[in-house]
Amino acid sequence: MHGVEAKKLRANEHAQPNTGLVTCLDADHHAVVDRHAQLDAAMEGERGPNERMAWLVPKRNIETWIRALNGEPTEEATDYKRRGREPLPCDAPAAAFAKVDRADASVLPSIRIARVEIERVRPNR
């Protein structure tokens, strides 16, 4: 599906220059860079430096980011998935993500990478 969406975005880039594509895919047991390569391959090639496409890849899963952005002790090797339980609210973690300093070494590596990625789709970059 990502390849189809990427083709549409590329075909309409001249008419809709502020449109972007954000894809979120859990890394699970894979490296974040491997998931990025997988997404690039699904799009039939790497993204150009000015293409408004961002890959958000939580290492291990999105629950890892939610915990970390809520200020809870978290590391990327543990599976924090809440199988069979109610989803966690995401308003506060989303706001915290927007404020993350991508140079802050205390932030999980996959979140730092995602902060760099999200800059690709920001208007007027």
Looking at residue 55, its pLDDT comes to 94
Q: How far apart are CA 21 and CA 23, in angstroms?
A: 7
Q: What is the mean pLDDT of residues 50-77?
A: 94
Looking at residue 2, its pLDDT comes to 63
Q: What is the mean pLDDT of residues 18-33?
A: 91
Position 57 pLDDT exceeds 90: yes
Whether pTM exceeds 0.95: no
Contact 120, 50 (CB under 8 A): no
Position 123 pLDDT exceeds 90: no
Looking at residue 32, its pLDDT comes to 96
- CA quadruple 87, 88, 92, 97: dihedral positive or negative? negative
Residue 68 or residue 43, greater confidence: 68
Q: How far apart are CA 60 and CA 108, in angstroms?
A: 11
3-state DSSP assignment of residue 53: strand
Looking at residue 125, its pLDDT comes to 59
Q: How far apart are CA 59 and CA 123, in angstroms?
A: 27
CA 55 to chain centre: 4
Position 15 pLDDT exceeds 80: no
**Average pLDDT score over the chain:** 88
Looking at residue 44, its pLDDT comes to 75
Dmax (CA) for the chain in angstroms is 45
Residue-wise pLDDT for 66-117, tens only, equals 999 999 999 999 999 888 888 888 899 999 999 999 889 999 999 999 999 9
* Domain coordinates in residue numbering, the chain: 2-121
Phi, psi of 35 (to 5 degrees): -65, -35
